[in-house]
Amino acid sequence: MKRDFITAGIGIVVLTLFCGILYPLVITGISQVAFPGNANGQQVKVNGKLVGSQLIGQNFATQVFKNGKPEMQSGEPVTNPDPRYFQTRPSATVPPNNAAATTFSNLGPNNTATEQEISSNIKAYIALNGPYYSGKLTAANVPVDAANTSASGIDPDISVRNADIQAHRVAAVRRLPLATVMKLVSKYTGGRGLGFSGEPGVDVLDLNLALDRTGGVRA
Task: State the nearest-atom distance from the C-beta of 183 to other proteins, in Å.
Answer: 16
Do 203 and 188 form a contact (C-beta atoms < 8 A)? yes
Q: In angstroms, rounded to a whole number, what is the distance separating the alpha carbons of residues 212 and 100?
A: 26
Question: Among candidates 145, 61, 146, 46, which has minimal Cα distance to 97?
Answer: 61
**Between 63 and 214, whose beta carbon lies closer to other proteins?**
63
**Beta carbon of residue 67, minimum distance to other proteins (angstroms, whole number):** 19
Closest to other proteins by CB, 113 or 179: 113
Say if residues 201 and 75 touch (Cβ distance below 8 Å). no
* Residue 138 vs 179, nearer CB to other proteins: 138
Please identify, using beta-carbon distances, which residue of 109 and 175 lies nearer to other proteins.
109
| Residue number with CB closer to other proteins (68 or 109) | 109
Shortest Cβ 48–other proteins spacing (Å): 12
Q: In what order do the strands lie in the sheet with 189-190?
A: 157-158, 201-203, 189-190
Are 190 and 197 contacting, i.e. CB atoms less than 8 angstroms apart? Answer: no
Shortest Cβ 177–other proteins spacing (Å): 20
Give the span between the Cα atoms of 8 and 115, in whole angstroms.
Answer: 53
Shortest spacing between CB 117 and other proteins, in angstroms: 8
Rounded distance between C-alpha atoms, residue 208 and residue 16, angstroms: 45
CA distance 25 to 126: 49
